[in-house]
Amino acid sequence: MGPVSANLPVIDLASPDIAAATKSVRQGLMDYGFLYVINHGIDEATLKSVYAESKKFFEQPMEEKMKHEKHSTHRGYIPPETEGFEADSGGKGDLLECFHIGSSESKARAVNVWPSAERLPSWKETMESYYDCAMATSKKILSLIALSLDLDAEFFQPDRPETILRIIHYSGHARESKYGSDKGANPHTDVGMLTLLSTDGTPGLQICRDKDARPQLWEDVHHIDGALVVNIGDLLERWTNNVYRSTLHRVLLVGKERYSVAFFVWPSPDTMVTCIESCRSEENPPRYPPIRTDEFLEQILASAIYKY
């Protein structure tokens, strides 16, 4: 059997038919935990400059990139094969390299690190501008998700969101691996509330809807021009009492370089995550006790393969 394609719903964020959009969001998050969004408000020129700047950073010599290596507050450059170790992958980390930028109003007061302004004069401005666009788009999606759960549209709007903008580069070839890694990104779920993903169109992203099935069935998430991919993380899965799914995904290498940009949104750290009313019933009683967002993230990050 050849590769299977995931048939994710496409949500038009500019559609006046909110009821229809809400219904598709619900179906997509129940079936896949993944969606496409179109008319998302991030224009092509913005994305183009993000990719151009991303390329400029990753093209630099390793020695230059390592000057910005990620520090204890998770901001900065992460070289290949340092993260994403799967429990059973025998020490094979992700082949991707990436750069993390966080929110400036973060609880931890973590400071961002930036490439040298002399070498890359437009880098910071370009990424900050994308950050703002991605946040505005994420807020629109969070409204639809809230409506899809019979909640007030504002329910998930974080007042002090914790976010990571992750600029990613895949070299495309496993032969560059030092430790025998063979995946761009090992199978994982995202930990937070919402992920907004843009790619340069190069394939490789796959999802597995039933992580316990053997053999696992991996479905390709194809690129759609003009669309962004959205998925939810473990925190929203818990909040919805497992009604919405935080789906396992990975990135295979396809023999060609690949660039992508992921934007991870978490609620404010003091937000209580308590089973949403419309997600509980006699047949589906609450599975988890209430927990504060920061406590949940602390617990889950201890076991997750990604530490952000």
Nearer to Fe ion, 53 or 190 (CB): 190
Torsion region of 213: left, alpha or beta (phi above 0 gives left; psi -120 to 50 gives alpha): beta
| Residue 308 contacts residue 264 (beta carbons within 8 Å) | yes
Q: How far apart are CB 241 and ligand AKG at their closest, in Å?
A: 24
d(CA 29, CA 130): 25
Nearer to ligand AKG, 64 or 220 (CB): 220
Name which of ligand AKG, Fe ion, none residue 168 binds, using a CB cut-off of 5 to 8 Å depending on partner kind. ligand AKG
Residues that bind ligand AKG (CB under 6 A): 166, 168, 185, 190, 197, 199, 205, 249, 251, 260, 262
Q: How far apart are CB 138 and ligand AKG at their closest, in Å?
A: 15
Nearer to ligand AKG, 70 or 249 (CB): 249
Interaction residues for Fe ion, span 255-294 (CB under 5 A): none
Interaction residues for Fe ion, span 49-108 (CB under 5 A): none
Return the residue nearest ligand AKG (CB atom). Answer: 260
Q: How far apart are CB 107 and ligand AKG at their closest, in Å?
A: 21
Nearer to ligand AKG, 205 or 297 (CB): 205
Q: Which stretch binds Fe ion (CB under 5 A): 6-14, 137-145, 176-184, 187-195?
A: 187-195
Name which of Fe ion, ligand AKG, none residue 206 binds, using a CB cut-off of 5 to 8 Å depending on partner kind. none
Q: How far apart are CB 205 and Fe ion at their closest, in Å?
A: 9
Name which of ligand AKG, Fe ion, none residue 166 binds, using a CB cut-off of 5 to 8 Å depending on partner kind. ligand AKG
Interface residue with Fe ion among 190, 200, 219, 237 (CB under 5 A) is 190
Q: How far apart are CB 56 and ligand AKG at their closest, in Å?
A: 19
Q: How far apart are CB 190 and Fe ion at their closest, in Å?
A: 5
DSSP line for 139-176: HHHHHHHHHHTT--TTTT--SS-EEEEEEEEE-S-GGG
d(CA 288, CA 111): 34
- Contact positions toward Fe ion, by CB under 5 A? 190
